[in-house]
Structure 1
Amino acid sequence: MGVRNYSELIAWQKATDLVEAVYALSAGFSREEMCGLTTQVRRAAVSVPSNIAEGQGRWTTGEFVQFLGIANGSLREVGTQIHVAVRLGFVSRIDSETVLRLASEVGRLIYGLRNSLVD
């Protein structure tokens, strides 16, 4: 694959962009949610680039693919939690669109990275 460090991976770079976007969006959630949905969506977002990095640092391709699967699962968590936040009125649908669009892009990048490893 030729990547020496996880930070060279576009999937990881975009996933860290997603973390920033989630933190910015969730900053507007109600104060009562600080220990609830705010914390949960932030942890899920941080999990995405963290698992990409951990997988890239593993010894085998199979382990890397496994961690990409975990990252993808966390990404789906983020999407679900943002949709819940919209439904609960913590954030507007329009404000959530940037995060959801970025999450979709990260998902495509993870999928492409996974496919490049298993082909």
Structure 2
Amino acid sequence: MSNFRNLLVWQKSMSLTTKIYNSTKKFPKEEIFGLTSQIRRCSISIPSNIAEGFGRDSNKEYLRFLNISIGSLFEMQTQLEIAKNIQYLDEEEFNNLYENSREIERMLVSFISKIKDRN
């Protein structure tokens, strides 16, 4: 693979980040430096770490960045659940975002396994 942009997991995480930004636009203004910012930063971290790890010299380094990416994903899932619980997201929007994130989670776990198997 010559470019991280060709990775389906990167493409899907970029799409999820866009969805997160659109969903969090509706959050109360007092959350701009709280939950809104936190969820957005986590979503940005997912494709960013996939891309950064891709450019590293070794599989060990790449795995480190992929694990950071999955950690950010789990953090974002938790924050989405909080947003649903305090009714910033309705059930349908939460389910859509959460299912998208679960798909990326499965892809990352599989990708990490494949890289580990290469070593």
TM-score bracket, shorter-length normalisation: over 0.9
Please list the CA deviations of residues 6-51 of structure 1 after superposition, one character each: whole Å capped at 9, or x if unmatched: 1011110111011011111111111111111001100000000000
Q: Which residue of 1 is the match for residue 68 of structure 2?
A: 70
Any idea what SS the aligned residue of 1:35 has? coil
Give the fraction of aligned pairs with identical amino acids, expressed as a percent: 34
**CA contact under 8 A between 1:51 and 1:67: conserved in structure 2?**
yes
Provide the TM-score with structure 1 as the length reference: 0.95
Q: Which residue pairs with 1:46 in the alignment?
A: 44
Question: 2:116 aligns to what?
Answer: 118
Structure 1 residues without counterparts, runs of 5 or longer: none
1:48–1:75 contact (8 Å) kept in structure 2: yes
Match of 1:58, SS state, is: coil
CA distance in 1, matches of 2:111, 2:8: 9
How does 1:1-119 map onto structure 2 within 5 Å?
3-119=1-117
CA–CA separation in structure 1 for the residues paired with 2:4 and 2:85: 35
Unaligned runs of 5+ in 2: none
**TM-score of the aligned structures, taking structure 2 as reference length:** 0.95
List structure 1 runs of 4+ shifted beyond 4 angstroms.
none
> In the comparison of the two structures, how many residue pairs are matched?
117
| Aligned mates of 2:58, 2:93 — CA distance in 1 | 40
C-alpha offsets along residues 58-88 of structure 1, whole Å, 9 cap, x if unaligned? 0000110111100000000110000000111
